[in-house]
Amino acid sequence: MEINHIYPQIFLQAVDQKTLGNSVIIDVREPHEWEYYHMEEAKLIPMGQIPLRMGELPEDEDIYIVCAHGMRSMRVAEYLKENGFERVINVDGGMAAIGMFRGFQYD
């Protein structure tokens, strides 16, 4: 199964230029990770809650998935694809890469 992905610098450029349209950004980290550092544009849905909260996700918009380093988000993206969500995009490198591009030392 092919999972779409986006490089963090391209993703951040789109966020900053507000060219993501009606898409959503889902952060699948845990609350304590979110409290440490997160994107204001994102919505927190921890990985373990995804199966219970899929009804909160749009089926007709792009869904960008982000985690700490890109591993959990890839697994969530695969899970969503398997469950009928076509427009799922994994953000490579996760919040560690995003932090680096924004001048924040994540790790």
Instruction: Give 22-53 pLDDT, tens digit per residue.
Output: 999 999 999 999 999 899 999 999 999 999 99
| Residue 25: per-residue pLDDT | 97
Amino acid, res. 42: A
Residue 67: active-site member: yes
| Residue whose entry in the numeric block shows the structure tokens 């490089």 | 7
Residue 106's pLDDT is what?
A: 64
Predicted pLDDT at 43:
97
d(CA 93, CA 31): 19
pLDDT tens figures, 44-90 = 999 999 999 999 999 999 999 999 999 999 999 999 999 999 999 99
Q: Is the pTM of this model over 0.85?
A: yes
Query: Cα 74 vs. chain centroid, distance in angstroms?
Result: 9
Contact 39, 25 (CB under 8 A): yes
* From 25, 47, 63, 67, the catalytic residue: 67
Q: pLDDT averaged over the chain?
A: 94
Q: Give buried/exposed letters for 25-64 (b at 16+ CB in 10 A, else e).
A: bbbbbbeebbeebbbeebeebbbeebeeeeeebeeeebbb
